[in-house]
Amino acid sequence: MDDGLRQQMQDDLKVAMKARDEVTRDTIRFTLAAIKNAEIDKGGPLTAAEDMSLLQRETKRRVDSIEQFRDAGRQDLVEREEIQMAVIKKYLPVELTDDELNELVQAAIAEAGATDIKELGKVMPLAIQRAAGRADGKRLSTAVRKALSEPA
């Protein structure tokens, strides 16, 4: 794990503990534990890309939980998960704007030489690589599908 990111998380953990902010404290603790477990599984420190991937996975878990809690009518749990998601997102790179995403998608389509939706498989790896963790897979896929299905 990037030492700067780990140090930032540990500093934020101390602040949350002093402020008696249980949700933030627990979120950071669970995230640090997930990172430590991933390092143990790998047998060494994570790369910056692996750190971001893990944080994105943790964010996606929160999104999935929010959907389930909303369906169950548990607004209290929805709010808790949203706070946890906001804590984790502080450590992720800034999301791409819609314009930046569209530019990225157009460049990936041009590089792949794709002309229709059947070539989605060629474009997605390039788009994911170019996004470098600044857009989730679902958002990327939607943008690529839209761009490939529009007439030129």
The pLDDT score that the predictor gives to residue 152 is: 54
Tell me the CATH architecture of domain 3-89: Orthogonal Bundle (1.10)
Could you state, in order of their start, the residue ranges of all structural domains in the chain? 3-89, 98-149
* Alpha helices (runs of H) in the chain, residue ranges in sequence order: 3-18, 22-42, 48-71, 75-89, 98-112, 120-131, 137-149
Tell me the pLDDT tens digit for each residue of 28-64.
Answer: 999 999 999 999 999 998 888 788 888 888 988 999 9
How much is the pTM?
0.70
The pLDDT score that the predictor gives to residue 151 is: 62
The pLDDT score that the predictor gives to residue 97 is: 85
Domain boundaries 98-149, corresponding CATH code: 1.10.10.410
The pLDDT score that the predictor gives to residue 64 is: 93
The pLDDT score that the predictor gives to residue 20 is: 95
The pLDDT score that the predictor gives to residue 79 is: 94
The pLDDT score that the predictor gives to residue 1 is: 61
Which parts of the chain register pLDDT below 70?
A: 1-2, 151-152
Of 120, 117, 112, nearest in space to 152 by CA: 117
